[in-house]
Amino acid sequence: MVANEAAREELRRSLERVLGAAETATLMGVLSAEQPATRSDLEAHRAETKSDLEALGATIKSDLEALEERMDARFEQVDEKIDHRFEVFEYKLLAALHQEIGMVRTDFTKQLIGQTKAFIFAMLSTLIALAALGVAALRLA
């Protein structure tokens, strides 16, 4: 149903008789002078909206794929940095371990040599004492 200006004026006069001038002005201000949307208008708007949403979805999907690629590349960089740092740490740790082992080996060797000398001296002393006892026993006999 198409409302022309004459029909709107007639409606306004009828409303003034029933509602009064102020209420009619309020109601007529709310009612649009433009034609209301038809079913075909709504269908066209629906199709446009659907098309816009599909395009937006494709854009978002493309953006997310690009973001995923950037994130993958960034994570690879971080992994490489971490691997490098662990490798450096491993070399430093091995170097420190080798140094400690070398110091322990040197200290152990010194102590072993000292104990070996003491043992040899004690054994020689014991042998000399036994030889002296043997000689003394032969003289007494």
Over residues 36-72, the pLDDT tens digits come to 678 888 888 899 999 999 999 999 999 999 999 999 9
Mean pLDDT, the chain, as a whole number? Answer: 90
Let me know if residue 16 belongs to a domain: yes
Let me know if residue 61 belongs to a domain: no
In 23-141, which ranges are E strands?
A: none
Residue 105 CB burial class (10 angstroms; 0-12, 13-18, ≥19): exposed
Return the pLDDT at 1. 45
Percent of the chain with pLDDT over 90: 65
Let me know if residue 117 belongs to a domain: no
Return the pLDDT at 30. 76
Question: What distances in angstroms separate CA 10 from CA 1, 4, 30, 31, one per listed residue?
Answer: 15, 10, 16, 14
Q: Is 35 helix (H, G, I), strand (E, B) or coil?
A: coil
Let me know if residue 99 belongs to a domain: no
Return the pLDDT at 62. 96
Task: Determine the average pLDDT of the residues in 69-81.
Answer: 96
Dihedral sign from CA coordinates of 77, 82, 83, 87: positive
Task: Determine the average pLDDT of the residues in 68-83.
Answer: 96
Return the pLDDT at 135. 92
Let me know if residue 3 belongs to a domain: yes
pLDDT tens-digit series, residues 9-27: 888 898 889 889 888 888 8
| Whether the predicted model's global pTM rises above the 0.95 cut | no
How many domains does the chain divide into?
A: 1
Domain with 8, as residue range(s), is: 1-31
Let me know if residue 9 belongs to a domain: yes
Let me know if residue 18 belongs to a domain: yes
Tokens of 126: 């014991």
Let me know if residue 27 belongs to a domain: yes
